[in-house]
Amino acid sequence: MALALKALHTSFAVHFLAVVGAILVLIWCISFRGGLAWDSSNKNLIFNLHPVLMFIGFIIIGGEAIVSYKSLPLKKPEKKLIHLVLHAIALILGIIGIYTAFKFHNESNIANLYSLHSWLGIGVIVLYGIQWVYGFLVFFFPGGTPTIRSESLPWHVLFGTFVYILAIATAALGYLEKLTFLENSGLEKYGSEAFLVNFTAIVTVLYGTFVILTTLCQSPAEDEYSYSAI
C-alpha cells in the first residue's frame, strides 16, 4: 500500500530537516560545548564528537540511504548501489561515533554501558550491521535465488524500518541523558542551551518521521521505469 503522496516530494522535507538538524547539532557542540577534538586534555571535546557523528553520520546519512531507494528517479541497480553505499557510510560513522563515547568515558573514568541509551545504542548498531550484511549478500553479491529475494524483501523493509525507528528513539534518549547531566551540574532548565538541545531532539524525531513516511509514498520508478520487487 502506497499513500497518495510522491516520495520525491516528501524527500524534500527529509533533506530540509537534515540540514536544519545538522546545523543545530553543530551549533550545540561547537558554540555551546566548546568544539570537537579527537585528543584533548579537555575530555568534553572528545565527547562532543559523539552527537555529531551519531546524528549527522549515522541518523542523517542512514535516513538518506533509506529515502534514496524510494525517492530517486533512477534505475534499480543505481538506486541499490546508492542505498548500500550510504548505509555503509552511516554504519562506519556510527561505529566511530560509538567509539568516541567509550573513549570519552575511559579517559574521564566514567562507567560504560549502564544506561538505557547505551544498551539500545549497542543493540541498534549490531542490528544495523546484521541488516546491512544480509542485504548485501541477498540483494547485491552474490545474491540469493529469486525466491529468497522476494521472500526476504518485506522482512528487509520491516526490519530496516524497526531498526531505524529504534535508532531515532536512541538518539532522543541521548539528548535527554546529556541534557539531564548538564542540568544536574547547574545548566539552566529553561535556558537557551536546554531549548536548543530539546529542539534538536524534536527535529531528529521529525526527520525520522519523514524518512519513514517517504518509504510509504509512491516511488517515481513505479511510473517512469519498469519497476519490480527486488
Q: Is 181 in the site for its own copies (CB under 8 A)?
A: yes
Number of neighbouring beta carbons within 10 Å of residue 93: 20
Q: Smallest distance, Å, CB 209 to its own copies?
A: 7
Site string for its own copies, 94-133 (x = CB under 8 A): -----------------x--xxxx-xx-------------
Size of the site for its own copies (CB under 8 A): 36
**Is 175 a binder of its own copies (CB under 8 A)?**
yes
Nearest approach in angstroms of CB 154 to its own copies is: 6
Query: Of the two residues 96 and 169, which places its CB atom closer to its own copies in the complex?
Result: 169
Of the candidate residues 41, 109, 147, 184, the single one contacting its own copies (CB under 8 A)? 184
Nearest to 70 by CA among 161, 182, 143: 161
Contacting its own copies within 191-220 (CB under 8 A): 194, 197-198, 201-202, 205, 209, 216
- Considering only 173, 203, 217, 230, the residue that binds its own copies (CB under 8 A) is 173
Q: Is there binding between residue 227 and its own copies (CB under 8 A)? A: no
Of the two residues 82 and 169, which places its CB atom closer to its own copies in the complex?
169
CB of 15 to its own copies, least distance (A): 20
140-159 residues in contact with its own copies (CB under 8 A) are 154, 158
Task: Determine, following the binding rule CB under 8 A, whether residue 186 of this chain makes contact with its own copies.
Answer: no
* Shortest spacing between CB 8 and its own copies, in angstroms: 19
Beta bridge partners of 218: 6
186 phi-psi bin (left φ>0, alpha ψ -120 to 50, beta other): left
Report the sign of the C-alpha dihedral through residues 206, 212, 215, 217, in that order.
negative
Nearer to its own copies, 9 or 189 (CB): 189
**Sign of the alpha-carbon dihedral angle for 12, 202, 34, 117:** negative
Task: Evaluate whether 227 touches 77 at the Cβ level (below 8 Å).
Answer: no
Residues contributing to the site for its own copies (CB under 8 A): 1, 3, 111, 114-117, 119-120, 154, 158, 162, 165-166, 168-169, 172-173, 175-177, 179-181, 183-184, 189-190, 194, 197-198, 201-202, 205, 209, 216
